[in-house]
Amino acid sequence: MIETTTNWFAACRVEDAVENGGVCVKCGDDQIALFYFTRRNEWYATQNLCPHRQQMALSRGMIGSAGEDPKIACPFHKKTFSLATGECLSGDECAIQTYPVKVEDGLVYIGLNN
Amino acid sequence: MKQEKIVIIGNGMVGYKFCEKIISKKNDFDIIIFGEEPRRAYDRVHLSEYFNGKSADDLSLSTSEWYTQQGITLYLNDPVKEIDRNNRTVHSSKGLTVKYDYLIIATGSAPFVPDIPGIDKEGVFVYRTIEDLDLIRNYATHAKTGAVLGGGLLGLEAAKALIDLNLSETNVIEFAPRLMPRQIDSAGSGMLQSKLKALGLNIYTNKGTSSIEGTDRISALKFNDGTELKTDMLVISAGIRPRDELAKLSGIEVGTRGGIIVNEYMQTSDPSIFAIGECALFDHNIYGLIAPGYEMAEVAAARICNDIKTFKGFDMSTKLKLIGVDVASFGDPFTTEPDARTILFEDSHKGIYKRINISNDGKYLLGGILIGEAEAYNMLLQTVNNKILLPPNPEDLILGSRGGSAQSENAGLAGLPDEALICSCEGISKGAICNAVSEDGCESIDAIKKCTKAGTGCGGCIPMVKDLMLHTMKQNGKYVRNVVCEHFHLSRQELYDLIKIHNLKNYEQVLDNLGKGDGCEVCKPLVSSLLASLWNDMILKKGNDTAQDSNDRFLANIQKGGTYSVVPRIPGGEITPEKLVIIGQVAEKYGLYTKITGGQRIDMFGAHLSDLPLIWEELINAGFESGHAYGKALRTVKSCVGSTWCRFGLHDSVSYAIRIEERYRGLRAPHKLKSAVSGCIRECAEAQSKDFGIIATEKGWNLYVCGNGGSKPQHALLLAADVDSDTCIKYIDRFLMFYIRTADPLTRTAPWLNKMEGGMEYLRNVVVNDSLGMAEQWELEMQALVDSYQCEWKTAIEDPEIRKRFNHFVNAPEEKDPSVKFDEMRGQKKAADWTLA
DSSP strands (E only) in B788-832: 822-825, 828-831
Query: To the nearest whole angstrom, how far is the Cα of B485 from the nearest Cα of chain A?
Result: 10
Q: Three-state SS across B214-256?
A: CCCECCEEEECCCCEEECCEEEECCCEEECCHHHHHCCCCECC
Cα nearest neighbour of B553 on chain A: A60
The bridge status of strand B220-223 relative to strand B228-230 is: antiparallel
User: Does any CB of chain A come closer than 8 Å to the CB of residue B542?
Assistant: yes
pLDDT at residue B479 above 80?
no
pLDDT at residue B458 above 80?
no
pLDDT at residue B710 above 80?
no
The answer to whether residues B537 and B601 belong to one domain is no
pLDDT for the residue numbered B408:
42
pLDDT for the residue numbered B727:
97
Q: If you average pLDDT over every residue of chain B, what do you get? A: 90
pLDDT for the residue numbered A4:
59
Report whether A33 contacts A47 (CB < 8 A): yes
The answer to whether residues B76 and B157 belong to one domain is no
- Choosing among B546, B564, B816, which should be mutated to test the A contact, i.e. which has the most A CBs within 10 A? B546
What's the rounded Cα separation, in Å, for the pair B61 and B39?
11
B187-240 pLDDT, tens digit per residue, is 999 999 988 888 888 999 989 999 999 999 999 999 999 999 999 999 999 888
The shortest CB-CB distance from B809 to any of A17, A20, A25 is to: A25
pLDDT at residue B716 above 50?
yes
pLDDT for the residue numbered B711:
67
What's the rounded Cα separation, in Å, for the pair B637 and B658?
7
Provide the 3-class DSSP secondary structure of residue B526.
helix
The answer to whether residues B74 and B117 belong to one domain is no
pLDDT for the residue numbered B496:
92
Domain boundary (B252, B275, B304) is at B304
Cβ contact (<8 Å) for A75 and B549?
yes
Residues from chain B that touch A23, judged by Cβ atoms under 8 A, are: 810
The answer to whether residues B638 and B771 belong to one domain is yes
pLDDT at residue B744 above 80?
yes
The bridge status of strand B209-213 relative to strand B220-223 is: antiparallel
Residue B392 within a domain: no
**3-state DSSP helix/strand/coil % of chain A, to nearest 5:** 10, 50, 40
Report whether B377 contacts B319 (CB < 8 A): yes
B800-811 mean pLDDT:
93
Domain boundary (B505, B527, B548) is at B548
Which class is A2-109 in CATH? Answer: mainly beta
The shortest CB-CB distance from B837 to any of A31, A54, A78 is to: A54
Taking alpha carbons only, the member of A91, A92, A112 closest to residue A25 is A112
Residue B641 within a domain: yes
Q: What's the CATH number where B172 sits?
A: 3.50.50.60
B446-464 mean pLDDT:
78
Report whether B170 contacts B163 (CB < 8 A): yes
The shortest CB-CB distance from A12 to any of B518, B811, B837 is to: B811
pLDDT at residue B489 above 80?
yes
Residue B26 within a domain: yes
Rg (alpha carbons) of chain A, rounded to whole number = 13
- State percent of chain B over pLDDT 70: 97
B695-718 mean pLDDT:
91
CB contact set of B25 (below 8 Å; sequence gap of 6+): B301, B302, B305, B307
Cβ contact (<8 Å) for B810 and A23?
yes
Residue B70 within a domain: yes
pLDDT for the residue numbered B455:
79
Q: Is B210 exposed, middle or buried (0-12, 13-18, 19+ CB in 10 A)?
A: middle
B43-83 pLDDT, tens digit per residue, is 888 887 787 778 888 888 888 888 988 889 999 999 999 99
Q: Among B463-477, B485-499, B582-596, B753-767, whose mean pLDDT is lowest? A: B463-477
Cβ contact (<8 Å) for B521 and A19?
no
Residues from chain B that touch A34, judged by Cβ atoms under 8 A, are: 810
User: DSSP letter string over B748-764?
Assistant: -HHHHHHHSTTHHHHHH
pLDDT for the residue numbered A1:
47
B291-312 mean pLDDT:
91
pLDDT for the residue numbered B401:
46
pLDDT at residue B130 above 50?
yes
Residue B470 within a domain: no
Cβ contact (<8 Å) for A54 and B809?
no
Residues from chain A that touch B811, judged by Cβ atoms under 8 A, are: 11-12, 16, 25-26
**Which residue did the predictor score with more confidence, B123 or B747?**
B123
pLDDT at residue B345 above 80?
yes
Q: Which residues of chain A have pLDDT under 70?
A: 1-6, 91-92, 114
pLDDT for the residue numbered A92:
65
Report whether B456 contacts B448 (CB < 8 A): no
**Number of domains making up chain B:** 5
The answer to whether residues B642 and B754 belong to one domain is yes
CB contact set of B662 (below 8 Å; sequence gap of 6+): B571
Written as one letter, the residue type at B95 is: G
pLDDT for the residue numbered B373:
87
pLDDT for the residue numbered B412:
64
Residue B422 within a domain: no
Cβ contact (<8 Å) for B550 and A75?
yes
What's the rounded Cα separation, in Å, for the pair B553 and B754?
32
Which residues in A have their CB inside 8 Å of a CB on B? 11-12, 16-21, 23-26, 31, 34, 37, 39-40, 51-57, 60-67, 70-71, 73, 75-76, 78, 80, 94
Taking alpha carbons only, the member of A98, A104, A101, A99 closest to residue A13 is A104
Taking alpha carbons only, the member of B535, B569, B568, B539 closest to residue B551 is B539
Residues from chain B that touch A109, judged by Cβ atoms under 8 A, are: none
Cα distance from N-terminal residue to C-terminal residue, chain A: 11
Residues from chain A that touch B817, judged by Cβ atoms under 8 A, are: 24, 31, 56
Cβ contact (<8 Å) for B553 and A60?
yes
Cα nearest neighbour of A42 on chain B: B518
B14-20 mean pLDDT:
94
The answer to whether residues B641 and B783 belong to one domain is yes
pLDDT at residue B836 above 80?
no
Q: Which domain holds residue B555?
A: 549-626+799-837
The answer to whether residues B741 and B774 belong to one domain is yes
Cα nearest neighbour of A34 on chain B: B810
B781-799 mean pLDDT:
95
Q: Is B251 exposed, middle or buried (0-12, 13-18, 19+ CB in 10 A)?
A: exposed
What's the rounded Cα separation, in Å, for the pair B506 and B523?
13
**CA B129 to mean position of chain CA atoms:** 29
Query: To the nearest whole angstrom, how far is the Cα of A99 from the nearest Cα of chain B?
Result: 17
B87-116 mean pLDDT:
94
Residues from chain B that touch A31, judged by Cβ atoms under 8 A, are: 809, 817, 819
Report whether B487 contacts B511 (CB < 8 A): yes
Query: To the nearest whole angstrom, how far is the Cα of A1 from the nearest Cα of chain B?
Result: 25
The shortest CB-CB distance from B550 to any of A19, A25, A60 is to: A60
User: Does any CB of chain A come closer than 8 Å to the CB of residue B608?
Assistant: no
B768-792 mean pLDDT:
94
Cβ contact (<8 Å) for A11 and B811?
yes
Query: To the nearest whole angstrom, how far is the Cα of A35 from the nearest Cα of chain B?
Result: 11
The answer to whether residues B556 and B702 belong to one domain is no
Cα nearest neighbour of A70 on chain B: B518
The answer to whether residues B273 and B284 belong to one domain is yes
Residue B367 within a domain: no
Residues from chain B that touch A65, judged by Cβ atoms under 8 A, are: 487, 517-520
What's the rounded Cα separation, in Å, for the pair A93 and A111?
24
The answer to whether residues B76 and B182 belong to one domain is no
Report whether B26 contacts B271 (CB < 8 A): no
The bridge status of strand B80-84 relative to strand B201-204 is: unpaired
What number of other Cβ atoms are within 10 A of residue A53's Cβ? 18
B100-121 mean pLDDT:
93
What's the rounded Cα separation, in Å, for the pair B427 and B432?
10
The shortest CB-CB distance from A56 to any of B524, B553, B817 is to: B817
pLDDT for the residue numbered B165:
86
Residue B350 within a domain: no
Cα nearest neighbour of A37 on chain B: B518
Q: How confident is the model at residue B732 (pLDDT cuts 50, 70, 90)?
A: very high
Q: What are phi and psi of B6, to 5 degrees?
A: -115, 125
The shortest CB-CB distance from A65 to any of B520, B550, B554 is to: B520
Q: Write the CA distances from B646 to B678, B683, B756, integer angstroms.
A: 11, 12, 39
What number of other Cβ atoms are within 10 A of residue B536's Cβ? 18
Cβ contact (<8 Å) for B810 and A39?
no
Cβ contact (<8 Å) for A62 and B520?
yes
Q: How confident is the model at residue B312 (pLDDT cuts 50, 70, 90)?
A: confident
User: Does any CB of chain A come closer than 8 Å to the CB of residue B813?
Assistant: no
Query: To the nearest whole angstrom, how far is the Cα of A4 from the nearest Cα of chain B?
Result: 25
pLDDT for the residue numbered B407:
39
The answer to whether residues B805 and B771 belong to one domain is no
The shortest CB-CB distance from B562 to any of A12, A57, A70 is to: A57
The shortest CB-CB distance from A26 to any of B545, B554, B809 is to: B809
Cα nearest neighbour of A10 on chain B: B811
User: Does any CB of chain A come closer than 8 Å to the CB of residue B819?
Assistant: yes
- State percent of chain B over pLDDT 90: 61
The answer to whether residues B556 and B648 belong to one domain is no
DSSP 8-class letter at B266: S
Q: How confident is the model at residue B586 (pLDDT cuts 50, 70, 90)?
A: very high
